[in-house]
């Protein structure tokens, strides 16, 4: 391997320490420093991983020519400003989800990265878990057949975030995973979002997203900060098999059910006669073995590989934009009392990125 | 107790045998006979419960002056015709859910029962389970506080019904339970429904219903015939506590969580300052003991009591109408690609019933 | 098929009604009557299945030449007397577990059946469940490899039986299942039993059975009437795979884990070097599809087949004796404060049966 | 608070890093260094916590007058030698479970600590988890009533340890917890142990321990390295209520069931008439809220408090000895093919410690 790359972490709040620890532990990276306006907080993170430089001044990081890349784990509304500054300083960027607080700002970030020939990676961490990597592989191998529906539930008693509602806080996980595993990515043209703020906090604390898929399918997401029980489950139904991912069951996270409804289709038949040809399959269940591995280690390795190979990361800025497009349409739908709203597709120049 | 009442069961398909068995076992009822166009099927049901008269001719039942009441367990599109005939013959009527296949027909049934001073009861069986009776009691006693949200999931690999979609097949359960346990009944003014028919069967096999509640709350239902796993769970969130009903966990069906988000409200504050006053409660969990008792036995007992006391049943025809109103609005919403549609409220004359 | 066989059921308590219902529903059998000292109780069972003759006099049954066989579901201490009378009257006999209340009486029953050339079948119902039939098949096909251990847990808040302790009440299930699925049957030479009667009821309410298996293996049973939670789980570990049967999980009763410890054995090595050659397999999990089918229907069908074919039933009187031998040794061990006690093997004449 | 105490950690293998991290993070302690024969391993641990001195020479630690105490996390057979050296050097000692590899050596360690007026603490970490602390509190408050039985299961696919069998590896957890929560501690007079080594590794990989309790009760432990599924569950049955601790269910670790068997005892009755007076309680279930807190932080705090206050730690050397006494009797029972063996009680001099 060539020499190691050098990174700095911006933001020492909830997620920054995990990024710092993984850069530090990676064979691909040197960790040059941690930046946080609260320098004492940065110092605590530094101490916990054996000591690296800390600073409260982003300029210190950006002016350091030995730093190849920055990881941005600041509040969402600052991503745009910090990322553009870093890209303009010639740094590759990985940015926590959501990539930006508006789709327009996300587009600007992606454009800037392309113009400067730098990698802009979305830290869609879940996509690098053994479970999601296996799900993507199973779908690629057509184990499930054509995808009929996706139902995702992510509920828990959660912190009511000061700056984002439950859609922007939690749904990026579900949406980025769908974008990663579905054959055509997160290719939805409209979304209906139903939000609820029953405690009058000023933002939705309960949210539902319904998105039609091709050929009559549907994707649905339920996110909730007010549930006393914790559920993290995604069901992906296919024509051949159906997969259930229960992330809170470490003994059997992913189950593939050879159960379902079969349709003996014949030419010229009507929907009624189709119904008559339905039969049920009650086959075996199979749960693939999954390694226990920290996803973030794979994230920082992929970031290094994308930089070295001059290619987009597997979870690229464009992937981040597709998530933002759905979130922005969801916000519009909430404002329209749940009426479906179109999801903007990427402009051609961006799609080529 | 006075003399026993006499009933006949119309329809010997899926649900009829259960009704017949419970009328037969009840101390309140004599079971006079079972009617089904397929008289051999009626005979088999009769044999299984020790033998009662069977007939293929509804006229035999309606002309029998010793019969006080009929239980209708025929396909939904026949409920209206059979019920009106029975009401016109002076019989009290209990009818399987959904009460009718359109709201208009349901209204006609309710009107006819009132005109003839007969009981029309909706067989909302779940409302008589020990779990739902306990939930209603807990909400009545304000154990949960004001209701913030209701989330109901009822999914399973299910028979694709020939005559109804998944909303009309499964959601009557969820809606009738909400109608029974919520302080003001199923009082929703609009519904957005998202249906999916990815197997092209001619009807929705996956469905989501979103219904705004008062004061920013929300009720949501997920019904699905294509899920390889079975879930029957309802979460009811309140300002004081949150209840989870997991009907497939016989060892702990109902759990009351003293966990949640508290809001220290003060006058003149803004939503932002409200957020600042949020705190979390992580209290105990409590699961009330529930008897194991067949709900349908309580259904036939309540039917007898309503007849004897000349009062509406606890799950009255009006309750059935409230469910139909939501289902009809849901169908309209599906046709409108998920745009919310208003739920018709009952006409004044009916409300007085 | 030839003409149907005719049966009578003796005992209308807990299990008799199930036997009566299944004989009644079987295509192989006519049910001639039900006998119980409490004739009103017999009458209620008769009514529930469409009406058959009832009597309080066992003699009526035994004297009836049209009756081919009897099913004995009376208290355990009466099995011996009723069975011998029936065998002497020329009736085939199926008897509820435990087959008798002592091993000696069980041997006498088996001997009498052989002398009279009649079938004596043990109603080891669990052995006819789809789960246990599948487990036997998997072990036969060497899916698990050589069996290393069996651990069975059957605990619940249970009725404290008037006539038997928890070993004789519950362990016959576990022991008869082991006898059915293990390649050599329930072939154990000693048992250590630890019983506990902390409520001073006069009999063990909590029990543990430990039984060495060949080649260092072990079988263990935990039965308990005082557990507030219900567990019915058996783990069968093999050199190739390990199977877990969780009978209370209808969605995945039987799971086969391709996880385990591998040992690279070489000649001349010591135990220490063996330990050094251990490696771990963390492979997939697989859950075979199982039909939902009532086991007792298969029991009465097997009873008929054994009679027609003049062969021992799959769960023969000898199988019942093997269970009794372990139970009797267990009782001796309890009296010896848990010291292991030898399990009597069958006398040669019996083994040939 | 006075000045901080100073500790060193001996052993940087599996558990040492956790001890080092918790001493480092504690407000009560300074961590002076880490000692391991493999100094590179010690260095890695040091780096992971921000850097402390490392050495391969235990003498460096023992000769350092600024060090008040050592934490021993070396293999079990070295505990005795290291602990005596440390105690002779005037250091307080906390030692990983099992405290020693024989009871005799454990007694010598306890004696030496007493002679030198130093604290010898057993690192029975589980006793400091929120769940076990709550269980102890509930038993102390007589929520459960008199204890009738304890059943503990700790099974998993586990590493086959080079130096100890499954009893000595896993059962110290169960035994130390029982010692901590039971009113009279682990007060058992005999144990029957059934071990199995079906893979011929030279040591038991599956183990069962049965220990009679006072008044007909029983304690039982099941430990297993060969189980493909992971279970960590303890049931504690009492005359008033029964508690289930399921350590793998973070949402409801501890449940208290108001279910059980009631006995209406009267004077002069026989066991038979007692049985007639049994009734069942099917009451509510209650799950206390538990904080999420790392147990080892409480361990190091308790170690500091015991030193400062000159008192035995809550999990003292004597507690460790009681565990060793049972383990040694268990090994004797295994050698005697499962025959019960007496548990040595502490010699009087030791009991006073």
pLDDT tens track for D86-126: 999 999 999 999 999 999 999 999 999 999 999 999 999 99
How many other C-beta atoms are found inside a 10 Å radius of the C-beta of residue A335?
12
pLDDT tens track for A31-89: 999 999 999 999 999 988 878 999 999 999 999 999 999 999 999 999 999 999 999 99
Query: Could C48 and B51 be called an inter-chain contact, meaning their C-beta atoms sit closer than 8 Å?
Result: no
The distance of D259 to chain C (nearest Cα, Å) reads 6
Substitution target in D244, D283, D289, D292 with the highest count of B β-carbons within 10 Å is: D289
Residues 6+ apart with CB under 8 A from B20: B9, B12, B31, B34, B45, B46, B49, B52
- CA nearest C237: which of C182, C184, C196? C182
Segment (H or E) for B280:
strand B278-287
Tell me whether C289 touches chain A (CB under 8 Å). yes
A191 has a pLDDT exceeding 80:
yes
Alpha carbon of D94 to those of A106, C214, D97, D117, D350: distances in Å?
A: 55, 43, 10, 14, 18
d(C-alpha C179, C-alpha C75), whole Å: 23
Give the confidence band of B276 by pLDDT, cuts at 50, 70, 90.
Answer: low
Q: Which residues in chain C (257-276) have CB-CB distances under 8 A to chain A? A: 258-259
pLDDT at A269: 47
Are residues A194 and A211 in contact, defined by beta-carbon separation less than 8 angstroms? no
pLDDT tens track for D312-341: 999 999 999 999 999 999 999 999 999 999
A347 has a pLDDT exceeding 80:
no
pLDDT at C276: 55
B349 has a pLDDT exceeding 70:
no
Q: Which residue has the higher pLDDT, C161 or A220?
A: A220
D271 has a pLDDT exceeding 60:
no
Of A250-264, B222-236, C63-77, where does mean pLDDT reach its minimum? A250-264
D49 has a pLDDT exceeding 90:
no
C107 three-state secondary structure: helix
C269 has a pLDDT exceeding 60:
no
- Which chain B residue is nearest to residue C230, measuring alpha carbons? B251
pLDDT tens track for A272-311: 555 556 777 889 999 999 998 999 999 999 999 999 999 9
Give the confidence band of B273 by pLDDT, cuts at 50, 70, 90.
Answer: low
d(C-alpha A222, C-alpha A235), whole Å: 12
Tell me whether B47 touches chain C (CB under 8 Å). yes
Partner-chain residue, chosen from D50, D230, D251, that has the shortest CB–CB distance to A47: D50
**CB-based burial label for A14 (10 Å; 0-12, 13-18, 19+):** exposed
d(C-alpha B327, C-alpha D44), whole Å: 64
pLDDT tens track for B55-85: 999 999 999 999 999 999 999 999 999 999 9
Give the confidence band of C50 by pLDDT, cuts at 50, 70, 90.
Answer: confident
List chains touching B (3+ CB pairs under 8 A).
A, C, D
Determine the average pLDDT of the residues in C161-178: 94
Segment (H or E) for D58:
helix D58-63
Q: Which residue has the higher pLDDT, A1 or B22?
A: B22
pLDDT tens track for A219-230: 999 999 999 999
Q: b/e string for D210-247 if b means 16 or more Cβ within 10 A?
A: bbbbeebbbbbbbbbbbbbbebbbbbbbbbebbbbbbb
Tell me whether C218 touches chain D (CB under 8 Å). yes
pLDDT tens track for C304-346: 999 999 999 999 999 999 999 999 999 999 999 999 999 998 6
Chain D residues whose CB is inside 8 A of the C162 CB are 275
Of A152-161, C147-156, C328-337, D285-294, where does mean pLDDT reach its minimum? A152-161
pLDDT tens track for C89-105: 999 999 999 999 999 99
In chain C, the domains with their CATH numbers are 5-125+295-316 (3.40.50.720), 127-286 (3.30.360.10)
pLDDT at C352: 38
The distance of D132 to chain B (nearest Cα, Å) reads 16
Question: What integer best gives the mean pLDDT of chain C?
Answer: 92
D68 has a pLDDT exceeding 90:
yes
Query: Could A210 and B338 be called an inter-chain contact, meaning their C-beta atoms sit closer than 8 Å?
Result: yes
Secondary structure of D179-233 in HEC code, one letter for each residue: HHHCCCCCCCCEEEEEEECCCCCCCCCEEEEEEECHHHCEEEEEEECEEEEEEEE
pLDDT at A280: 79
Give the confidence band of C143 by pLDDT, cuts at 50, 70, 90.
Answer: very high
Substitution target in D50, D54, D231 with the highest count of A β-carbons within 10 Å is: D50
Query: Could B47 and C47 be called an inter-chain contact, meaning their C-beta atoms sit closer than 8 Å?
Result: no
Give the confidence band of D22 by pLDDT, cuts at 50, 70, 90.
Answer: very high
pLDDT at C345: 83
pLDDT tens track for C201-245: 999 999 999 999 999 999 999 999 999 999 999 999 999 999 999
Are residues B152 and B339 in contact, defined by beta-carbon separation less than 8 angstroms? no
d(C-alpha C15, C-alpha C122), whole Å: 14
Instruction: Give me the half-sphere count of Cα atoms (radius 13 Å) on the Cβ side of residue D285.
Output: 22
d(C-alpha D244, C-alpha A160), whole Å: 33
Q: Which residues in chain D (226-255) have CB-CB distances under 8 A to chain B? A: 252
D349 has a pLDDT exceeding 60:
no
Are residues C89 and C68 in contact, defined by beta-carbon separation less than 8 angstroms? no
Determine the average pLDDT of the residues in B192-214: 95
Partner-chain residue, chosen from D48, D50, D251, that has the shortest CB–CB distance to A229: D251
Partner-chain residue, chosen from C47, C229, C251, that has the shortest CB–CB distance to B50: C47
């Amino acid at each position: 391997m060539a020499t190691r790359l050098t990174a700095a972490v911006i933001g020492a709040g909830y997620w920054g320490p995990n990024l710092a620890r993984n850069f530090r532990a990676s064979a691909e990276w040197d960790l040059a420093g941690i930046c946080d306006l609260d320098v004492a907080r940065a110092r605590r993170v530094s101490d916990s991983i054996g000591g690296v430089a800390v600073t409260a001044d982003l300029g210190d990081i950006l002016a350091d020519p030995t730093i190849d890349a920055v990881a941005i784990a600041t509040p969402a509304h600052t991503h745009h400003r910090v990322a553009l500054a870093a890209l303009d300083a010639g740094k590759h960027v990985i940015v926590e989800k959501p990539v930006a607080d508006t789709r327009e700002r996300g587009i600007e970030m992606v454009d800037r990265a392309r113009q400067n020939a730098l990698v802009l990676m979305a830290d869609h961490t879940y996509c690098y878990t053994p479970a999601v990597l296996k799900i993507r592989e199973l779908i690629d191998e057509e184990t499930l057949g054509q995808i009929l529906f996706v139902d995702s539930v992510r509920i828990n008693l959660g912190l009511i975030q000061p700056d984002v509602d439950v859609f922007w806080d939690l749904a990026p996980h579900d949406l980025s995973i769908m974008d990663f595993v579905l054959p055509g990515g997160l290719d939805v043209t409209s979304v209906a979002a139903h939000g609820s703020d029953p405690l009058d906090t000023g933002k939705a604390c309960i949210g539902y997203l319904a998105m039609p898929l091709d050929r009559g399918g549907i994707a649905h997401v339920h996110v909730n900060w007010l549930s006393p029980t914790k559920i993290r489950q995604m069901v992906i139904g296919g024509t051949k098999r159906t997969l259930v991912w229960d992330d809170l069951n470490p003994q059997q996270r992913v189950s593939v059910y050879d159960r379902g409804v079969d349709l003996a289709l014949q030419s010229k038949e009507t929907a009624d006669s189709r119904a008559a040809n339905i039969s049920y399959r009650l086959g075996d269940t199979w749960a693939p073995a999954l390694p226990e591995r920290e996803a973030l280690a794979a994230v920082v390795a992929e970031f290094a590989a994308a930089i070295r190979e001059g290619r987009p990361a597997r979870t690229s800025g464009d992937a981040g934009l597709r998530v933002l497009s759905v979130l922005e349409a969801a916000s519009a739908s909430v404002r329209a009392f749940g009426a479906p709203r179109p999801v903007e597709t990427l402009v051609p120049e961006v799609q080529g990125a």
